[in-house]
Structures are given as C-alpha cells and as structure tokens.
Structure 1
Amino acid sequence: MAPQKSPDNDRIEAAKRKAAYRAVEEHFDSSMRFVGIGSGSTIVYGVEAIKDHLEKNPPPPNHMNWFVPTGWNSRKVIEEAGLLPIAFDSLPRETMIEVCFDGADEVDEELNCIKGGGACLFQEKLVACRSKKFVCIADYRKQQKRLLTNWPSIPIEVAPIAHASVLRELKLLGSPDAKLREHSVAKSGPIQTDQSFYIIDAPFKTLLSPLDVKNGSDGSGKDGQWDVEALAARIKMISGVLEVGLFHGMNGYEAQAAGLQGGQKPVAVYFGMEDGEISVSRAEEIKK
C-alpha cells in the first residue's frame, strides 16, 4: 500500500508552487539569455514555472535561454525540464546573469537569509553575486523576524583538512554544539559538497539584524550574541572556511548602484502562505 501524504505536506508543497509561479511571472522574461537556478525542493516549481512560461511565450527567433545551476541537483532539474544548462565557469567573462531564482532555509524581516541546508551554499552565493537580481522563493515556515528562530544552525562549507580546527574556533565564537554534517548511514562519513568540501552546522543564539545594531544593540559577539553581518565576517576569517551560509549585505540593485556586480541578498522574497495566498517582501519596502 502506498504511503499516505500528510495534509500539512500537501499544503506546504502547494504554497511553494504558488510562490514560484508568482515570482517567475514577475521576474522572468523569455528574452533573457542567462538565468540562475538554485537548489532544493522549492526551485523545482520555479523551473516548472519557467518551462510553462517559455511554452506560452516562446523566445525571439535564434535566441537561446541558458540556465546556470548552483550544483549537480539543480543541473538535473534543468535538464529534466528540457532546458539548457550552462556551467557557472563557462559564462562569458563580462556577462551578468539577469535573474537568479533560489530558495532559503530562513529569511528575516530585512531579507537576510540562511542558505545551505542542501549543501550548495558556495555555488549559490557565486550565482547570486553574479546576478542582477536574486529572487527568493519560500514557504510560510521560512518567514521569521530574525534568523536562527526556527532554523537551528548556520551551514558553513569547510576544507576537509581544516574541519576540526574550524569546529574549535566556532566553539570560541559561541557555538559549542557545532557539528560536522554526516550521512544518515554513519559508515558513509561526512557529506561532501560539489567542491568536495565538508559542511559544518553551527548553532548560535538568534541573530540580531543590521537594524537592531543601528538602533543600539550590541551584535559584536559579547555573551555569544551576534548580528548577521558581524558573525558572517568573523566566520569567514577562519582559516579553512570556504563560505558561510548567511546571505547578507547588499542586494543586486544596491550593488549595481554602488558600481559593483551583484549582491547576496534577494531583491524580493515570495512566500507561499498556509492559506493559499502569496506574501511578497520587497527590498525597497523595507525600513532602513
């Protein structure tokens, strides 16, 4: 007998799908040449929405739509949809990705994100920072006032040789229970990323936002209390760390206005809500 799907799971998947279709409707165009595709369960619906859009709105004659995956999993999703993948390092040097669609593990009120639950954070950050805009698709569980409210830890990608040293330094920063992420079958050993690196999951106290700091809160790590930007910078300084699963700082619009390429933060997050509605948080509407 086939296992029964739970009503909650059906509701979550329906929320993801509606959010994905709305995000693609508002940010994708058939004339785009390069589009980033992130990893995880939510982005499957983003690719489905893009495929439907292209079938209804074919690209101009002799135009090719190329899709930049953030890892092996997203490449498979692109290929299975009949779309054309292109590796990040095959992009023409001066070319920007026009939009990147990706999910998140948690998003705060200022659109800072935790990403990396699927172990693709380094490539996800590469693609986001090469994109004119990063558009995030998520369900209602991911929407929180502050990061590390429901999501338990920060994913950190580390060189295998350095993982023990990184764990030691994370303890000094206030994460005594940081752990190397391993396969469910113990003998399979640590999970490895597409770069053959390891992932460490590091719990911390709920993170302060940049606005909290602007309003006078101390996020410097005193008594283990950090703000998003200070903690991300401090972890990145540890020898052996490739990338930190905190997406913060500027979004694509802000980066380009400053003469830079792209930003880590989304310009908008589309949350599929439990009641079937879509809640959209846009960067330009957020109090600074």
Structure 2
Amino acid sequence: MSGELSPIDRAKFVAAKRAVDFVEDGMRVGLGTGSTAAWMVRCLGELVRDEGLKIRGIPTSTRTAELARQVGIEVTSLDEAKWLDLTIDGADEFDDELNLIKGGGGALLQEKIVATASDQMIVIADVAKQVSNLGAFPLPVEVIPFGWQTTKALVEETLVSLDVLGRETTLRMNGTSPFVTDEGNYIVDLHLNRISNARQMALVMNQIPGVVENGLFIDICDVVIIGHGDGKVEIRDINAGTVNEERIDFVDNDNLFADI
C-alpha cells in the first residue's frame, strides 16, 4: 500500500494511524470529515475488525457515516451519545496555538458541534497545513439560503473593519448550483489571505444575521498530530505543552485501504 501513495497521502496515513492509538475500548468517538479523516476511519475499522475494538462512532457528515459503516464501525447520533470521549478530525490550517480553519469539505457546522461536545479533540494533518497566521486557506462561513446575498453583503461590510489582507467573498458552488451542506445551508468562502485576530473574526462573523457558523475553531483543539511523508509524526499537546516525535511503520497489505 505505501508504495502506491504520494508523500502527502503517506503523511496523512501516518498521522491517522498514530491518532487511533488514543482510542480505547468503549469510547464514543467523533469521526471527522475529509481526506485525512477518511484514513483515520479506515484505521479504526481495521482495529474493529482485527482486534475487536468496540466503539461507537459519531460521524460529522453523511459521507463519513457511510464510510464508517462500510469498515464495520458502529454508528450512532450525537443525540444518542450525548457526550463524547474524543473527536478525531482533520484541518485545512492550524497555527502555533492549535487554532484551526476547517470546512473545506463543507461539514464545518457538524464538525464544530461534535468537537465541542467532546472531552478531547485531536487534529490530524500533514505538515503543509501548519501556518504562522490563519487565513491563506479561504475561511468558510455557513449561511442559510434565505437572503444569502444579503448575508454575503453584510459579511463583506463587516470585513472592512477587520484586520485582514483580502476581502473577496465567493459562494461555494457544486457545478452550476450552490453547494448545499448536510443541514441544507450554503457556504460563503472568505478569501482573506491573513487573519490578524482569529478570535475576533470568529466572534464577529457569528453575530451577522443569516450566518449559522464559521470555520474558525478557537480553543477547541487539544492535540495536533502532524504526519510527514517519511513516516515521522509530531505530536503537539497544547495543554501539556509537549512536542514529541515518533515514527510509524507502513502496512503494505490491508484491504481496508485497497480503494484509496
């Protein structure tokens, strides 16, 4: 398997492989959305199949739920689980304080709800996702469809008073139609280039009528596991103030990964 992967995919895989070591029998685990999170779901499925791990997974999107069921993970809802032991998810960007931009896959609302309902959030990412200042990746803002153009205009007006390098906003599309989230909403992507005060941005965006949620995850992530293409992983724990490096061996034959 490893010989067929690009360096980026190898980095995602080793981060995911290390992250599932945090999962213990009987846990309620939030399952993130995106390409890196998909590796994690498959790694968990491997543990369920080969080692008899018993967990309940709470997915953050319909596609994650489908994948989890395919690999044998018991899936339940957040309403049923009520509170989670752990959430493992990817990120589009993270900074030195482990603040994040998420939502590139369009699941930011469910991802934030699940992450904040967890005792711990672990983010898995390749090293390219690390930035000194958030904002190079477009910031997703989920808005209700009713009056979305008015909401978009209010967002643009608000950006004038914020310290950002860019102010272009675009409605996310799916072909010729607006992209629609699992909750039936639209996403406006903010092309800011740099966000000087992410905490302020997160608070201000959510005060705009029509905005449901934004993709800034502030003070939510506890641990980031950074994967590298050579199998090295770096584990940063913001609460313990520790940084550790390890190396993950690749697995060359596993049918859970055959279609990636």
| Normalised-by-shorter TM-score class | 0.7 to 0.9
Gaps of 5+ in 1: 1-6, 209-226, 250-264
1:230 alignment counterpart: 200
Could you tell me whether the CA contact under 8 Å between 1:140 and 1:274 is conserved in 2?
no
Higher relative contact order (CA 8 A, sep 6+): 2
Distance 1:235 1:178 in 2: 13
Could you tell me whether the CA contact under 8 Å between 2:49 and 2:72 is conserved in 1?
no
- Matching residue within 33, 49, 52 for 2:46: 52
Distance 1:158 1:180 in 2: 10
Please state if 1:11 is matched with 2:31. Answer: no
Q: Any idea what the Cα deviations from partners look like across 1:224-274, whole Å, max 9, x if unmatched? A: xxx01101100000001110000003xxxxxxxxxxxxxxx2110111123
SS at match of 1:178: strand
Distance 1:169 1:177 in 2: 13
Gaps of 5+ in 2: 161-165, 243-260
SS at match of 2:147: helix
Could you tell me whether the CA contact under 8 Å between 1:106 and 1:113 is conserved in 2?
yes
Please state if 1:271 is matched with 2:226. Answer: yes
Distance 1:182 1:49, change over 3 A: same
- Matching residue within 182, 192, 201 for 2:180: 192
Please state if 1:171 is matched with 2:126. Answer: no
Q: Any idea what the Cα deviations from partners look like across 1:175-224, whole Å, max 9, x if unmatched? A: 641011011x22xx10000110000001224123xxxxxxxxxxxxxxxx
Deviation at 1:65, TM superposition (A): 2.2
Query: Equivalences for 1:1-288 in 2 at 5 Å?
Result: 10-25=6-21, 27-32=22-27, 34-59=28-53, 65-91=55-81, 95-149=82-136, 151=137, 153-172=138-157, 173-174=159-160, 176-183=167-174, 185-186=175-176, 189-208=177-196, 227-249=197-219, 265-286=220-241
TM norm structure 2 = 0.84
Instruction: Report the RMSD for the aligned CA atoms in angstroms.
Output: 2.0
The aligned length equals: 234
Deviation at 1:56, TM superposition (A): 4.5
Deviation at 1:8, TM superposition (A): 11
AA matched with 1:78: A
